[in-house]
Structure 1
Amino acid sequence: MKNIFVIMVFSLLFAGCKQEIKPADIAKLNGYWEIEKVVFDKGEEKEYKMNETFDFFQIKNNKGIRTKVMPQFDETFLTTDTFENVSVRFAGEHVFLDYKTKYTKWSEEIISLSDDKLVVKNPQKIEYHYKKTGPVNLMNDGEKTK
């Protein structure tokens, strides 16, 4: 019985641990992010081995844009004219990315954010796990492309 109590206390402790995201952390969003996996509300996962597009965030003073970009052979990115306006919203212990286009708007909660990892959750409780990325050498020879 004592072991069950200890396990329950530790379980609650770990479940209650959520990264506190501070205003200074928002600068970590800037740059290129590649999706690694999606975790659905029932626990199923979909892994992404390779992506044709990355998400590019450019945020300053809690406002900015997110756009899709495609890596090119010369280690540059091809961009489109489509983007979402993004604003960062702090609501108590939660931090949200509020997106807006001329057609719709939606929000995602930032679950965790570090220099190289990002996890966001949408209202349908679907989590998107990203890793920070940069120029890609598609030649796969270990050398910089010219």
Structure 2
Amino acid sequence: MILLKNSILIFLILAITGCANSVSETQLNQLNGYWEIEKVSFPDGQTKEYTINETVDYIQLDSLTGFRKKMKPTFEGTYITSDDAELFTIFKLEDSYIIQYKANGSMDWTENLIAVSANSFSVRTSENVTYTYKRYEPINITE
């Protein structure tokens, strides 16, 4: 059973690393902070744009380990969240950085980090779906 799980994990990692990226280790710290999904690109060429998000992702990375949490912003500038977090580690495989998640009670999964900048990042799943995130900017309501 363990051999089967390891074989599946290796296959998934190889599948998502099919395209090399240009992410450097020094860019990884830019993942820290609040992010909202901007778009999802599917293997068939279709794209789904997100103009409004009820939740944002908070990522905290220290060295090559961290966590990701879903946060719901409020109009007061605070966030509502649960204690649930997706733990992850980042490792380099050939010319790519892989994010390996370990979630409580669910299956582990990996994503290929394909781009990182101060204001955006993109990951590709083993199903060849690309998620593009942009830095979250709180809504500023002034009276």
TM-score higher than 0.5: yes
Equivalent-residue separation in structure 1 for 2:32 and 2:139 (angstroms): 17
Provide the TM-score with structure 1 as the length reference. Answer: 0.80
Which 5+ residue runs of structure 2 have no aligned equivalent?
Answer: 1-18
For 2:20 and 2:92, how far apart are their aligned partners in 1? 15
Give the letter aligned to residue 117 of structure 2: S
Whether 2:102 is the aligned partner of 1:116: answer: no
What number of residue pairs does the alignment pair up? 124
Q: CA deviation at 1:102?
A: 2.6
2-structure distance, mates of 1:89, 1:75: 34
Provide TM-score, normalisation by structure 2: 0.81
Instruction: Give 1:49 shift.
Output: 0.9
Q: CA RMSD in A?
A: 1.6
SS in 2 for 1:27: helix
Question: Larger relative CO (CA 8 A, sep 6+): 1 or 2?
Answer: 2
Per-residue deviation at 1:18?
5.9
**Identical pairs, percent:** 34
Give the conservation status (yes or no) of the 8 Å contact 1:77–1:135: no
Partner residue in 2 for 1:125: 128
How big is each residue's C-alpha offset from its partner over 1:19-61, in whole Å with a ceiling of 9 and x where there is no partner?
Answer: 5212111100000011011000111011111000001100001
* Other structure's SS at 1:81 match: coil
Moved over 4 A (4+): none
Q: What secondary structure, in the 3-state scheme, does the structure 2 residue paired with 1:70 have? A: strand
Gaps of 5+ in 1: 1-16
Q: What aligned pairs does 1:34-113 form with structure 2 within 5 A after superposition?
A: 34-103=36-105, 104-113=107-116
Q: Which amino acid aligns with 2:102?
A: K
Letter in 2 for 1:76: T
- Residue 44 of structure 2 aligns with an amino acid whose one-letter code is K
